Amino acid sequence: MKNVYQKLLKAAFITLAVMIPIVFYGQSTNGKEKAKDNSFEKYWSVNLNVGPNLFYGDLNVYDYYPVMKYNNMWKLGYGLVLTRQFSPVFGVRGQLLNGELSGTKRTINRYSDMDIFEYNLNGTVNFSNLIWHYKPERKLTVYGFVGIGMANWETRLYRLSDDVRVGGNGQDGAGPRKRTTEAVVPAGLGLDYSINEKWGINLEGSYRVVNSDKLDATEGDYKYDAYSYNSLGVTYKFKESTNLKSMAKNYDKVKITATPTVLETLQDSIEVTISGTFPEKYFSKKAVMNFTPVLKYPGGSTTLKGITLQGEKMKGECKVINYKEGGNFTYTQKIPYNPAMNTSDLVVTPIIYTINSNETVKCDASINEIKQAKKNIELPEQKLADGVIYTSTKAIFDEDLNLTDPGYVNLDNEKIDFQNIAKPEYENYIKANILQKDAKIYFKVNLSKLDFKLPLNKTNLVEKKLKELTAFINKGYKIREIAINAWASPEGDVSYNQNLSEARKKTATTYMYDVFKKLAKDKKSRVKIAHPETAINFVTAAHGEDWDGFMKSVQASSIKDKNRIANIVNSQSDLNAREREIRKMTVVYKEVEEKILPPLRRAEISVYCQKAQKTDEELQRLSLNNPDSVTVEEILYSATLTKDTTDKMKMYKNAIATYPNDWRAYNNAAYYDFKQSNTKEANAYLEKANSLNPNNATILYNLGVLASRNKNFDQSAAYFNKAQKAGANVNYELGFISLKKGDYTQAQKLIAAKKCNYNLGLVQLITKDYQSAASTFKCAPANANTYYMMAVTAARTNNTSLMYENLIKAFKANPTLKATAKNDREFIKYFNAPDFQNVIK
C-alpha cells in the first residue's frame, strides 16, 4: 500500500506541474486548439455538493452485507468547489470537503467514527471537449480531476460488542483544533449536465488516499487509509449570460414597426423606415441581435439592409442597446421597385446570437455568418408592412409625333411667310401656288392725298410699280387677298396721326378699287370685277405712328446722336413726350425730319394670287405612280387625302426616293411607323431627317417623343430642350419626363397648363393634393383609367360611396381592372369588406 500511495502522490505532483502552465496560457503549443475553440470564454464557477462517504482501511475488511445490515458505513459529506476554467479542456479547482466516515471490523470487535475536513487543489480535464472538441451548446460532459490536499480529522474508536469507547486520535495533532493532519491525494470522475449557460448539475465520484494509517485509529495491514466521496452538486458559473432564451421568450415586449405600414413606390423606388423599441432589462449585455427585413412576393424576394444591435459589453461599432434602460433604433432604406412587388409583405425574422467577448461584432455580418455563431436563436417571422402601392407608376404616355406642314409655296417652290392670308381648307398644304406682288405709295407730311409728283414717289418709281401691280392682277389668277397697311410718321399729335394713317389707308384702298373698275371696262382685260369692294378679300389696317420703322431707320443711319434718340424712345412710354424730346435736339432733328420721317408716311399694297392646280384625284395618282411628275409638297399633300396607311407610306417613300434631300417625307414616314409601333424604323427615318435639317423643332420634338416612348428619358429630355430652343413648346413633354423620374414638383409645374389631363391629376394625387386631383380627373376624358384614379382618390379620402361608384364605371369600361383592384394596396383597408368583394367579382 505504501508503494501505491507514493506512486499516486508522485503522479499528482507531475500532473499539476504539467497542467498548471497549460491552463494559465490557455492554448496548445501548436495553436490549433485556439482556432478550434475560439468561442470559449474563461470563467469562474462555484459548486455546492453533498453525498455519501465510504471508508477504506483496517476497519473495513469484513463481510460487507452483515455489517451494513447492523451498522451503516455510508456517511454524509458535503463540500464546496471553486473552479477556474481556463480552456474548454483544462481547469484548476480548489475544494473544501467536510463529513463523516465510519469503519468496522468484526474480527477485532472494533468500529470507529471519524470527522474529517479536507481542502485540496486539483487539475481538471474535460474529456468530452478533449475528444470531440468544444461546443458551447453541449449539455452533458464527462470530466476528471487529480490533485493534492490536506485532510484534517478526529477519530473515535469503539468496541463493536458494547459501543464502549476504547481509543481514538485527533485531539493532540498539529492541524486546526489540534486535529491530526496528513496529506491526501484526491482523484475522480464527474458527469456535468448544463441546465443553461450559468447553472448546471453534476454527479461526481472520487477516491482519496491519505498519507497515514491512523485515520481509523487502528493500525494493521493497510498502511494508508483511503475513502471515497460520491456527490450530487449544483454549479453556478460566474460569466456574463447572453440570456438568449430569455430574450426570445420576452420578444413580444419588443416593438418593431415600419413606416409607412403600406409601402409605396415613389421616384421608382420604395422607401421604408424601420424602428424598434426595447424595454428595460431585456437586451443582454453580451447578446447581439440582427434585423434584416425581407420583402416577399410571388416568385421572389428582396432583402433590405439589416441592422445589427449589440449589448453594452460587446466589442464593436454597432448600435448599442443598454440592458438596464433599454433603447431604440431607427433607420431608413430605399430599394428599387419592380412590378413583382405589387403584392408583397415586408417581414423580418430577427436572430439573436452571441460570439466570443474577445471578438468584435460585425455590423454587416451576413445571415449565414450569423448562423455560424456559437449560439443563435431565430425568432418567429414578423410582418411589418404590406406592399406595394404603385400608383406613381401609372402615368400614361399620351404624346404623339408631329406631321410636317408642306406650307405655302410659289412657282419657285419657295415658302412665303405672311400672316394675313386666310388658311386654306387643308392645313397641311395649300393646293395652289401662291403668287405675290407688292407696291408702296408715299405721302406728304400731314396729307393723305395721292401725289405722284412727290420726290419719294418719283425716286422709288411708285407709278411704275403700281402699273406692274395692275399687270399682275390682269394675268387672271384667282385673287386670294389684297393686304393694305398704312402709317404716319411719329411727329405731331398721336390721335391726329392715327386718323391720318386711316385716311392714307382709304386712299390706297380707293386706288385699288379704281384699278379693278378700269380693268372691268377694258375690253382686253382678263379681269372683269366691277365691284371689288365686295368681290375681293381686302385686309386693311391703319397703324398710326410708325415708331418701329422710325427706330430701324435711325439705327441704320449715320446720325451721331442715334443712341441718345434710342434711349429717349425706349425710356419714354408717352408718345407725345417722345416726339417733344426728340424735337428739343434741334441740330439732330433737322436731319431726322429730312431723312428719317418722310419714308414713314406711306401705304403698302400686297396682292396674293392663286395659280391653277391639279385635281386631288390627279395628284394622288401621280404621287403613287409617277412621283417625279409632282413636287414634294404635292406628294405630302396627296398623303393627306387618303385614310389608307399603306398608300400614305408608299407616297412618303416615293417622296423620299424622288426628293431624298427633303426632310419632311422622312418625318412623316416616321409618324406612321410610330403609329404602328415600328419604333426602330421610325427612329431611323427621324435620324435621317435630323441629318438633313439639324436643329429643326419638329424633328427634335419627334425624336424626343420617340425616346420617351422607349423610356430613354435622359435622351428624350435632351431632344426636347433642343426643340424648345428651336421654338417648340415642350413643357408638357418635359413634365411627363419629370413625372416618370419622380420629380413631382417640377412635373406639376410643367403639366399644369394642360388642365383636365390624366397625368396632371396623377401628379396631384401623388403629392396628396386630393381636392385638385379629384377636380382634374372629373373633367379629364372619361375612360377606364380616369375612373380608376377617381376611385383611388376617393379611397384615400375615405369617400367610400364615390370609390365604389367609380370602380364600377372603371370595371364596366375595362373588366380586366377587377384583377388589378383585387390586389391593389390602395384599397387594402376594404379587402375584407363584403361590398368590395362583390364589386370585384
Q: Check residue 219 and give its pLDDT.
A: 83
pLDDT of residue 253 exceeding 90: yes
The Cα 135–Cα 374 span in angstroms is 8
Asked if omega into 424 is within 30° of 0 (cis), the reply is no
Say whether pLDDT at 567 is over 70: yes
Are residues 23 and 86 in contact, defined by beta-carbon separation less than 8 angstroms?
A: yes
Residue scoring higher pLDDT (72 or 352): 352
Given a cut of 50, is residue 138 above it in pLDDT? yes
Candidates 538, 234, 258; CA nearest to 388 is 258
229 Cβ neighbours under 8 A, 6+ residues apart? 51, 52, 53, 77, 79, 97, 99, 188, 204, 205, 206, 208
Residue 336: pLDDT band (50, 70, 90) is very high
- Does residue 15 have a pLDDT over 70? no
Q: Is 568's pLDDT higher than 50?
A: yes
* CATH fold of the domain at 244-389: Immunoglobulin-like (2.60.40)
Q: For residue 230, what is its C-alpha cell?
A: 460520491
Quote the pLDDT of residue 356.
78
Confidence label for 423 from pLDDT (cuts 50, 70 and 90): very low
User: pLDDT above 70 covers what percent of the chain?
Assistant: 88
Of 257-266, 300-309, 629-638, 664-673, minimum mean pLDDT range: 629-638
Nearest to 148 by CA among 101, 98, 95: 95
Residue 470: is its pLDDT beyond 70?
Answer: yes
**What is the per-residue pLDDT for 190?**
96
The per-residue pLDDT for 241 is 66
pLDDT tens digits for range 24-61: 343 343 434 343 444 577 889 999 999 999 988 888 75
Confidence of residue 432 (pLDDT cuts 50, 70, 90): low
How far is it, in rounded angstroms, from Cα 720 to Cα 724? Answer: 6
CA distances to 572, 594, 653 from 560, rounded to whole Å, are: 20, 15, 59
d(CA 67, CA 137): 46
- How large is the angle between the packed helices 731-741 and 713-725, nearest 10 degrees? 160
pLDDT band with cut points at 50, 70 and 90 for residue 590: confident
Q: Rounded to the nearest 5 degrees, what angle is found at the Cα of 223, between the Cα atoms of 220 and 229?
A: 105
- pLDDT higher than 60, residue 67: no
- What's residue 111's pLDDT? 87
Query: Quick one: which H or E segment has residue 252?
Result: none
pLDDT digits (tens, 9 = 90+) for 439-448: 999 999 999 9
Quickly state the pLDDT bin for 173 (edges 50, 70, 90): low
- Separation of alpha carbons 95 and 48, rounded Å: 10
Higher pLDDT, 563 or 658: 658
So what's the pLDDT on residue 273? 96
pLDDT at 574 over 60: yes
Cα dihedral 721, 725, 728, 730 sign: positive
Query: Does residue 737 surpass a pLDDT of 70?
Result: yes
pLDDT in tens, 610-656: 776 678 898 899 999 999 998 888 899 889 889 999 999 999 999 99
Q: Is residue 594 very low, low, confident or very high in pLDDT (cuts 50, 70, 90)?
A: confident
Bridge partners of 382, per DSSP, are 348
Q: What is the pLDDT of residue 12?
A: 46
Name the pLDDT band for 73 (thresholds 50, 70, 90).
confident
The per-residue pLDDT for 126 is: 95
- Cα distance between residue 369 and residue 627, in whole Å: 76
Q: Which residue has the cell 474480527?
A: 107
Q: Which CATH superfamily is domain 434-610 in?
A: OmpA-like domain (3.30.1330.60)
Q: What is the pLDDT of residues 382-413, one digit of tens each?
A: 999 998 999 999 999 988 888 886 544 333 33
Binned at pLDDT 50, 70 and 90, residue 23 comes out as: very low
Q: How far is CA 221 from CA 166, 214, 631, in A?
A: 20, 12, 141
| Span 526-537, pLDDT tens digits | 888 989 999 999
* Range 573-579, long-range pairs (CB < 8 A, 24+ positions): 575/490, 575/494, 575/545, 575/547, 576/493, 576/494, 578/490, 578/547, 579/490, 579/491, 579/492
Residues 6+ apart with CB under 8 A from 838: none
The amino acid sitting at 629 is S
**pLDDT surpasses 80 at 9:** no
Residue 420: pLDDT band with limits 50, 70, 90? very low
Q: Name the residue with cell 462555484.
A: 46
Task: Report which DSSP code applies to 594.
Answer: I
Cell 455590423: give the residue: 363
C-alpha 764/C-alpha 748 separation (Å) is 7
Q: Choose between 139 and 485: higher pLDDT.
A: 485
User: Would you state the pLDDT for residue 238?
Assistant: 85
Percent of the chain with pLDDT over 90: 62
Amino acid at 232: L
Per the prediction, the chain carries an average pLDDT of 86
Give 301 or 217, the one with higher predicted confidence. Answer: 301
Q: Is the peptide bond before 445 cis (omega within 30 degrees of 0)?
A: no
pLDDT score recorded for residue 175: 62
| Least confident residue range of 438-452, 588-602, 644-658, 791-805 | 588-602
**Contact criterion met (CB below 8 Å) for 81 and 93:** yes
pLDDT of residue 734: 94
Per-residue pLDDT at 482: 94
Q: At residue 22, does pLDDT exceed 70?
A: no
Q: 759 versus 7: which is more confidently predicted?
A: 759
Say whether pLDDT at 318 is over 80: yes
How far from 401 is each of 117, 397, 405, 672, 701, CA to CA, in Å? 106, 12, 13, 9, 8
Tell the CATH topology of 2-238: Porin (2.40.160)
pLDDT beyond 70 at 426 = no
Instruction: Determine the pLDDT at residue 240.
Output: 65
CA atoms of 438 and 472, how far apart (whole Å): 10
pLDDT band at 8 (very low <50, low <70, confident <90, very high): very low
- Predicted local confidence at residue 696, as pLDDT: 93
Domain coordinates of the chain in residue numbers?
A: 2-238, 244-389, 434-610
CB count within 10 Å of CB 356 equals: 17
C-alpha cell at 650: 408608299
Question: Who has greater pLDDT, 263 or 198?
Answer: 263
Please give the residue that has the higher pLDDT: either 556 or 121: 121
Model pTM score: 0.59
Which of 4-8, 181-185, 370-374 is predicted least confidently? Answer: 4-8
Q: Quick check: 317 pLDDT over 90? A: yes
Specify the pLDDT at position 37: 43
Does residue 239 carry a pLDDT above 90?
Answer: no
* Among the listed residues 264, 338, 346, the one whose alpha carbon sits nearest the alpha carbon of residue 303: 346
Please give the average per-residue pLDDT across 751-777, as a whole number.
Answer: 94
